């Protein structure tokens, strides 16, 4: 086996060798980050459009890199999936969220939290049991959690996916279909998963002010989700004009820079205070 490995190496170009050395560095950096606890959660509020009330927050992971500063998930989650580290990240994210929830509880603040699950994490046997044991061990009510998933998770193995979701739901957690309307989340998934919530992807919301087709599609997505008994959330809302249009469609909740960027937990608490001065 060693020998064939060596032979195979002959086919690699010098560029690929540099590439793999780079990957080894990145893997080492990520493993170090996991060991050092360099990940934190930022939270973005979800706002009920009819009342302006904050209905919950979405947890979005960040890497506080000692040299690079705050690093967003788009650049490291694909690498963690590749290196088989995504389950470690999943545990870390849940731990961080549970710690923040405990702190908020101590302040008399009860806030539903949405967590993103990546496809690879979802595929693992025992995911639901692991999450439930982890949450129940912390003393936090599992019902505060909504789990955001995308289509790719459902495509692979339908029976296992549905089983996993059924187990999580039996513990009181809600399921949200993320990025709805994109290639990652489509109608068959909406039908099969019957999520409690649907999140309309930012790519549709972005154009609703200037594009009639975009507006009509969002209107139809809201109507369909609601007809199926789901809460509909529009993501990536950046302007008052978008909010006005979304309000007219009857969309339940909105999330985006117009209300707030994702914030560190301490900043979120200050933001919430400013929303409800009393």
Binding site residues, ligand C2E, CB under 6 A: 44, 59-61, 72-74, 77, 93, 116-118, 148, 178-179, 202, 235-238, 256-257, 262
Q: How far is the CB of 57 from ligand C2E (least distance, A)?
A: 12
d(CA 105, CA 128): 24
d(CA 177, CA 191): 11
Q: Which is nearer to ligand C2E, 93 or 111 (CB)?
A: 93
8 A C-beta contact, residue 30 and residue 246: no
- What residues between 95 and 134 interact with Ca ion by CB under 5 A? 116
Residue number with the shortest CB distance to ligand C2E?
256
Q: Find which of ligand C2E, Ca ion, none residue 146 binds, CB within 5 to 8 Å per kind.
A: none
Q: Find which of ligand C2E, Ca ion, none residue 262 binds, CB within 5 to 8 Å per kind.
A: ligand C2E
Strand 69-71 and strand 54-65: the pairing is antiparallel
Q: Find which of Ca ion, ligand C2E, none residue 61 binds, CB within 5 to 8 Å per kind.
A: ligand C2E
- Residue 258 has what DSSP assignment? T
| Helix ranges restricted to H, 113-261 | 119-123, 127-138, 151-156, 158-170, 187-193, 202-205, 212-227, 240-249
Q: Which is nearer to Ca ion, 29 or 178 (CB)?
A: 178
8 A C-beta contact, residue 138 and residue 98: yes
List residues bridging with 115 in a β-sheet: 147
CA proximity to 193, closest of 220, 213, 166, 215: 166
Q: Which of 29, 100, 151, 178 binds Ca ion (CB under 5 A)?
A: 178
Q: How far is the CB of 27 from ligand C2E (least distance, A)?
A: 18
d(CA 278, CA 269): 14
Q: Find which of Ca ion, ligand C2E, none residue 118 binds, CB within 5 to 8 Å per kind.
A: ligand C2E
Enumerate binding residues for Ca ion (CB under 5 A).
116, 148, 178-179
């Amino acid at each position: 086996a060693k020998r064939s490995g060596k032979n195979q190496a002959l086919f690699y170009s010098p560029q690929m060798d540099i590439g793999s050395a780079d990957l080894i560095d990145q893997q080492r950096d990520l493993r170090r980050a996991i060991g050092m606890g360099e990940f934190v959660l930022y939270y973005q509020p979800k706002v009920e459009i009819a009342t302006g009330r904050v209905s919950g927050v979405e947890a979005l992971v960040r890497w506080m890199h000692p040299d690079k500063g705050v690093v967003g998930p788009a650049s490291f989650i694909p690498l963690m999936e590749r290196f088989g580290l995504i389950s470690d990240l999943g545990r870390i994210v849940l731990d961080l969220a549970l710690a923040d929830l405990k702190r908020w509880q101590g302040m008399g603040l009860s806030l539903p939290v949405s967590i993103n699950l990546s496809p690879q994490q979802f595929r693992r046997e025992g995911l639901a049991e692991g999450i439930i044991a982890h949450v129940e061990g912390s003393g936090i009510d599992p019902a505060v959690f909504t789990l955001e998933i995308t289509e790719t998770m459902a495509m692979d193995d339908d029976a296992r996916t549905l089983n996993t979701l059924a187990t999580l739901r039996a513990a009181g957690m809600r399921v949200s279909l993320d990025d709805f309307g994109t290639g990652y989340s489509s109608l068959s998934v909406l039908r099969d998963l019957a999520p409690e919530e649907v999140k309309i992807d930012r790519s549709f919301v972005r154009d609703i002010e200037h594009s009639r087709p975009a507006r009509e599609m969002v209107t139809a997505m809201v109507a369909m989700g609601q007809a199926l008994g789901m809460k509909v959330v529009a993501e990536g809302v950046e302007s008052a004009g978008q909010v006005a249009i979304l309000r007219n469609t009857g969309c339940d909740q909105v999330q985006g820079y117009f209300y707030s960027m994702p914030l560190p937990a301490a900043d979120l608490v200050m933001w919430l205070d400013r929303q409800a001065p009393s």
